[in-house]
Chain A
Amino acid sequence: MLRRRIIPCLDVSGGRVVKGVEFVNLRDCGEPVDAALRYAEQGADEICWLNITAGDEAWHELLAQVEDAGTRIDVPLTVGGGVSDEPHVRDLLGAGADKVSINSAALDRPDLVAECAERHGSQCIVVAIDARTRPDGVWEAVASGGRRPTGRDAVAWAVEAVERGAGELLVTSMDQDGTQSGYAIDLYARLLDAVDVPIIASGGASGPADIADVLEAGVSAALAASIFHDAISTVEEVKDACRARNLPMR
């Protein structure tokens, strides 16, 4: 039986793991390759590495670090952040990423998703969507790390991204991100109805029970950062909580 996945997320800036609340107030949480190895050792099913620094220099540093992490860990590695064209995807896969996530660039130019999926296969193209609720209750996709509203309904964008070849969706609720108030279950329920690719839920985990809740709602994987970086829970403790709810875990 296909297992649900627990994915520690490393937000990496200036070569260091950082974590903020609602994408601001970043603080240092250590060295990313060490963190990736530590989480893999704890039983992480996958590692997500999000580069949050712009610029060519940061990109080269990212590739070097991904190369290092990719040859040392023995679980899958998903890398994203600042991926703006197909050569970026090629670079990251060549460096050792197993999947690449595309966010703002896909919103700006949805054809990019098709170009990357045709060349590299849907199984390695993840479209990352940051969503925030508007006062009218609609989940809106926001770009550029949450700074740029797009006016697009996040669920409609998810459907289009899948039609264009996205093999997986990594959806972060910005209402919840870093607040440790639980995942946005209603958003994931809508997405699960709308698309037939795996969905990774992100944003809001305060502990193992929140992760078990969102996996019970039907998502394929749950991503979390703070609870792992702050040693609130280990990956194994999260998995035990999920097993206690009869969720299939590795």
Chain B
Amino acid sequence: MPDVLIVDYGGGNVRSLTAALERCGARVAVSADPGAVAGAERLMVAGQGAAGAAMAALESAGLADALRDAAGRHVPILGVCVGLQVLFERSEEDDCAGLGLLHGTVHRIRGAARLPHLGWNDVEPLQEHPLTRDLPAVAYFAHSYAVTSDIPSALAITRIDDATIASMVVRGSVAGAQFHPERSAEAGRQLLTRFLAWEPA
């Protein structure tokens, strides 16, 4: 039994995320099979690219429903970058519906001098949580869309000029990181290690 299953819907960075989890000592499975998602004890949704394409791929492969069911069973889920964005109800990018596991809409970032938000930035904790114990930290971001810091699920925030985004989110067993833990050196290792040990109440 793997420790964590990465949902493979054809988006990028599955390979680097697998390697990063393995560096944390995890046994990792990668699958596009809804049946495998249904049997997984811990799930990650990777992501690179556009929200619309990611959601279309998740829906057409039956993975979206498998993820909704997994959330209903309180299986720990961590979405990364676009994998965080698809957890929400809607995204302004491609004006598409998301999985609806978290309340809110993903917007194009307003108030940043330059977009995309590319590079290393602070992740500051908003609340005590098993996933935020190593924060504050500096992590690697690559995106132009995000949820704002005033959504109810905001767990950590990041400031980009005049914008403040939620860079980590959580509700029950469903969590997300807007940054890329697989490319965030020590900060990434810490988050992945915390996620692998996380037992949501």
Contact = CB atoms under 8 A, between A and B. Distances in A.
Nearest to A43: B185
Contacts of B113: 196
Contacts of A96: 13, 15-16
Nearest to B51: A121
B118 A198 contact: yes
B16 A70 contact: yes
A149 interface: no
A152 interface: no
Given A197-B114, A221-B119, A122 B144 contact: yes
Contact of A124 (B18, B48, B121): B48
Nearest to B184: A74
B116 to A, nearest CB: 4
Interface stretch (B34-42, B66-74, B135-143, B167-175): B135-143
A94 B114 contact: no
Interface stretch (A1-9, A30-38, A181-189): A1-9
Contacts of A220: 114, 118-119
Interface residues of A, number: 37
A159 interface: no
Q: Label chain B's interface by main secondary structure.
A: mixed
Interface in A4-20: 4-5
B189 interface: yes
B116 A123 contact: yes
A5 B121 CA distance: 11
Given A45-B120, A123-B118, A168-B116, A75 B140 contact: yes
Nearest to A250: B120
A193 to B, nearest CB: 12
B23 A74 contact: yes
Nearest to B142: A123
A76 B140 contact: yes
Interface string B87-120: 0000000000000000000000000011111111
Given A94-B12, A123-B144, A124-B12, A74 B138 contact: no
Contacts, number: 105
Contacts of B50: 118, 120-121
Interface residues of B, number: 38
B115 A196 contact: yes
B12 A167 contact: no
A41 B118 CA distance: 20
B89 to A, nearest CB: 21
A225 B120 CA distance: 21
Interface string B148-163: 0000000000011100
Interface string A108-132: 0000000000111111100000000
Nearest to B138: A250
A93 interface: yes
A59 to B, nearest CB: 18
A71 B142 contact: no
A77 B182 CA distance: 11
A99 to B, nearest CB: 7
A240 interface: no
Contacts of B183: 74-77, 98
Contacts of B16: 70-71, 96, 98
5 contacts: A71-B15, A96-B15, A121-B48, A123-B144, A196-B115
Given A94-B12, A123-B118, 6 more contacts: A74-B20, A76-B140, A96-B16, A124-B12, A196-B114, A197-B115
